């Protein structure tokens, strides 16, 4: 009789059992934090390749950490963008203004003036320094923590607050979640709550720009957790295949809501290393070093304009606050993480650099912080004249049917009229605007 195959259950075979790995963060609430496992090279340690170099020639930059500002508060190495002190002060001013804006809007949410807000504390350099390295008309496709781009591009703060409050001054007419801004005039694409959708949109826009023979490039920002989305990988494929003039900025702030970066693949390799498999240029940058952020984005922008290809940049930073006003980070991470983060605070580092240059001092910093706080306070009071959450001062009810068709179809006109009649019956004294 021929030998029969072994059909006994796996537990009875002489083979090791398979095991599944489930990522776990190194620190949980109450744990002592030790970041000694993070390799931080000296500032200026990495060479700056030619902007048209082949991706295989810069492999090490996807695993290292490009840094310019050292512990001595001086700029070091080939990546130093050598910005004028006036430009550095402007950059510092934008970062201070964003932080003041975040603090005021956070308080407004706690006071019930809006339903939702997201701060970018500790990540200001990844939006402000990078956007300053782009041309003002380059198209940006942000995620929901890049309010610094709008501020750096001069978007009116009162309009940002109107959108957050969804009041009658909201240019988006209450159709977007608070903080999901949009501005065609500032080349700022509409923010979406669906993760990573902005990535293929940015690549597609960049491809169209190239087809038209334009000179404008595109840049997009996405959190490290969102790189696990299919849209991100589709964007990388199209960017590589068509050599799209685009920059893919990955903000690795260590946490995606309550899930740490290991669930997106950070335990295995860097996020910048994902560029290598697609044939893209990949850079990994100290995201709390404003000069390094500017230099990397400028390098990638020059590369795109030279038709040398797209770039994926990982900005290694830390989300100092909760994911949003709906989140309590004390429930899933150690309270020591923020204080122990080894790359410091981006505003403090830039301020100390300017002081080291003899171009700034603590008194001027205190005056700037106060001026920013007072400016945001005044803009907030102005916006509140247009209404806040739940106070009825919103766009007319009929506008919910508009802006889809050039001419409103008859059936929508009937629906709008019926809805308005029902509201008038329910609130005969006026109530919510009709």
**Residue range 46-65, pLDDT digits in tens:** 999 999 999 999 999 999 99
Q: Which residues contact 104 (CB under 8 A, 6 or more apart)?
A: 373, 376, 377, 380
The DSSP annotation for 375-430 comes to: HHHHHHHHHHTT--TTSS-SS-GGGGG-SSSSS--HHHHHHHHHHHHHHHHH-TT-
Query: What is the three-class DSSP state of 71?
Result: coil
Distances (CA, A) of 181 to 97, 116, 173, 177, 321: 17, 13, 11, 9, 21
Q: What is d(CA 387, CA 63) in angstroms, rounded to the nearest whole number?
A: 49
pTM over 0.85: yes
Query: What is the three-class DSSP state of 39?
Result: coil
**DSSP E strands: which ranges in 326-419?**
none
Among 93-97, 142-146, 259-263, 429-433, the range scoring the smallest mean pLDDT is 429-433
In the structure, what pLDDT confidence band is assigned to residue 432 with cuts at 50, 70 and 90? low
**Residue range 217-235, pLDDT digits in tens:** 999 999 999 999 999 999 9
Per-residue tokens: 210:
């190239």
Query: What is the three-class DSSP state of 124?
Result: helix
Query: What is the three-class DSSP state of 241?
Result: helix
More confident residue, 70 or 424: 70
Q: Is 433 a residue whose pLDDT tops 60?
A: no
Distances (CA, A) of 208 to 140, 236, 245, 246: 14, 16, 10, 11
Task: Tell me if 129 sits within 8 A of 79, measured CB to CB.
Answer: no
Q: What is the rounded average pLDDT for all residues in the chain?
A: 95
Per-residue tokens: 348:
């403090």
The DSSP annotation for 268-305 comes to: TS-STTHHHHHT-EEEEEETT-HHHHHHHHHHHHHHHH
pLDDT for 13: 67
Q: What is d(CA 380, CA 403) in angstroms, rounded to the nearest whole number?
A: 28
Q: How many residues does the chain have?
A: 434
């Amino acid at each position: 009789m021929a030998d029969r195959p072994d059909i006994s259950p796996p537990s009875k075979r002489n083979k090791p059992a398979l095991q599944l790995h489930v990522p776990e963060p190194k620190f949980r609430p109450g744990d002592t934090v030790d970041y000694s496992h993070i390799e931080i090279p000296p500032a200026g340690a990495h060479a700056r390749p030619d902007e048209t170099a082949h991706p295989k020639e810069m492999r090490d930059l996807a695993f290292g950490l490009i840094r310019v500002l050292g512990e001595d508060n001086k700029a070091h190495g080939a990546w130093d963008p050598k910005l004028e002190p006036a430009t550095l002060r402007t950059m510092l001013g934008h970062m201070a203004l964003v932080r003041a804006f975040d603090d005021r809007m956070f308080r407004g949410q706690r006071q019930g003036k809006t339903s939702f807000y997201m701060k970018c504390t500790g990540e200001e350099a990844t939006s402000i320094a990078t956007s300053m390295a782009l041309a003002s008309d380059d198209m940006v496709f942000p995620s929901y923590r890049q309010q610094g781009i709008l501020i750096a591009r001069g978007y009116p703060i009162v309009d940002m607050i109107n959108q957050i409050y969804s009041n009658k001054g909201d240019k988006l007419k209450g159709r977007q979640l608070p903080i999901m801004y949009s501005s065609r005039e500032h080349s700022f694409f509409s923010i979406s709550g669906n993760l990573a959708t902005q990535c293929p949109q940015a690549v597609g826009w960049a491809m169209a720009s190239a087809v038209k023979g334009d000179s404008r490039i595109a840049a997009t920002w996405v959190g490290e957790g969102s790189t696990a989305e299919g849209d991100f990988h589709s964007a990388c494929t199209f960017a590589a295949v068509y050599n799209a003039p685009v920059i893919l900025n990955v903000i690795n702030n260590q946490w995606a809501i309550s899930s740490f970066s290991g669930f997106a693949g950070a335990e295995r390799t860097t996020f910048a290393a994902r560029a290598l498999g697609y044939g893209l240029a990949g850079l990994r940058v100290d995201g709390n070093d404003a000069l390094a952020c500017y230099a990397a984005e400028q390098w990638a922008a020059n590369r795109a304009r030279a038709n040398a290809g797209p770039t994926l940049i990982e900005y290694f930073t830390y989300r100092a606050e909760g994911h949003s006003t709906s989140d309590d980070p004390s429930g899933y991470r150690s309270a020591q993480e923020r204080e122990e983060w080894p790359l410091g605070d981006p505003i403090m580092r830039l301020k100390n650099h300017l002081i080291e240059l003899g171009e700034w001092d603590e008194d001027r910093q205190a005056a700037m912080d106060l001026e920013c706080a007072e400016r945001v306070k005044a803009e907030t009071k102005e916006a509140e004249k247009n209404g806040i959450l739940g106070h009825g001062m919103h766009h007319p009810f009929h506008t919910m049917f508009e802006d889809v068709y050039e001419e409103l179809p008859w059936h929508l006109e009937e629906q709008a009229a019926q809805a308005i009649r029902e509201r008038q019956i329910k609130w005969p004294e006026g109530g919510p605007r009709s």
